[in-house]
């Protein structure tokens, strides 16, 4: 088994966007480089989002590390967390709220369903 590097240079991203019914503001667009999919609900890669705001609801657990940009994550209980380059955090399964990208945000992620 070899070490997996977070190197996106040799692959094209998947281009996507949030469900239009979940968008609150702007026209956010996503680019995702999924570098790991073990077939059993474990994923890892790089994600980028352009400015906008949308509703989120997590059925999975996710570790994130912000590489660049600024975002706000606001939970349904009103707690707001400002996320910037260098920040690492875990979004717990069941989290509900909104994700607002202030400046295009790039992150590493590891997801466990």
The structural domains of the chain, with segments of one domain joined by +, span 37-112
Partners of 70 in beta bridges: 84, 103
Residue 98 has a CB neighbour count (10 Å cut-off) of 17
Q: What is the per-residue pLDDT for 1?
A: 62
Residue 4, Cβ density class (10 Å: 0-12 exposed, 13-18 middle, ≥19 buried): exposed
Fold held by 37-112: Jelly Rolls (2.60.120)
Per residue in 74-93, pLDDT (tens digit) is 999 999 999 999 999 999 99
> pTM of the prediction?
0.93
Handedness of CA 89, 59, 41, 13 (dihedral sign): negative
pLDDT digits (tens, 9 = 90+) for 36-74: 888 899 999 999 999 999 999 999 999 999 999 999 999
Q: What does each C-alpha distance from 113 to 5, 19, 38, 94, 101 come to in angstroms?
A: 22, 20, 11, 11, 24
For residue 15, list its beta bridge partners. Answer: 31
């Amino acid at each position: 088994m070899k070490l997996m590097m977070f190197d996106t240079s040799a692959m094209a991203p998947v281009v996507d966007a949030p469900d239009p019914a979940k968008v609150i503001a702007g026209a956010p667009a996503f680019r995702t480089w999924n570098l790991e999919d073990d077939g059993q609900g474990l994923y890892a890669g790089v994600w980028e989002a352009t400015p906008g705001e949308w509703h989120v609801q997590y059925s999975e657990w996710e570790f994130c590390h912000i590489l660049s940009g600024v975002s706000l994550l606001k939970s349904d209980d009103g707690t707001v967390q400002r996320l910037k380059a260098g920040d690492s955090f875990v979004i717990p399964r069941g989290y509900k709220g909104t994700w607002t990208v202030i400046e295009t945000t790039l992150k590493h992620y590891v997801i466990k369903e």
